[in-house]
Amino acid sequence: MSALRVARERAAAGAPARAVGYGSGNQPPNAIAIAAATPLAPVPAAIWHFGDLDANELRIAADAARAAIRAELPVLRPAVRLYRELLPDGTWQPGGPVIPEERARELVSWLAEPDLMEAAAAVLTAGKRIAQENVGHEQLATLHSWV
């Protein structure tokens, strides 16, 4: 809810309009398809995604990006600035199997920035994850841009 609260605060202060969508599990690709079938006003100029840093979430993000393309929406991109906040300070948690290096490279390719890809692959190959909640309200409120 922190992202929604910060977006509302910024809009009230005169910042450009933003919409914040939430999903859990494998919902983002379906949410993209539903959004495409719903008249959006204004039509989004960009769509950004930020989620947990784990193998499943990276796969979901890539699936959602493909869904956006199929729906003729703007390309879904990673909220790079938020991932940059998450990686150095986020708590590595046990999160699943150790991901082989080649598969980890495939999964992190969606992040598109070489330094983020390298850091994220290290998390996956260690069998760990970082929850998005490590980026809290204070960080969201003080960052000029999330992307």
Using the 8-state DSSP alphabet, how is residue 128 labeled?
Answer: E
pLDDT in tens, 67-111: 888 888 888 899 999 999 999 878 899 877 899 999 999 999 999
State how far the Cα of 30 lies from the Cα of 102, in Å rounded to an integer. 28
pLDDT in tens, 5-22: 766 676 677 766 566 565
pTM across the whole model:
0.80
Cβ(97)–Cβ(105) below 8 Å: no
pLDDT in tens, 46-74: 888 888 999 999 998 898 888 888 888 88
Dihedral sign (CA 98, 101, 104, 106): negative
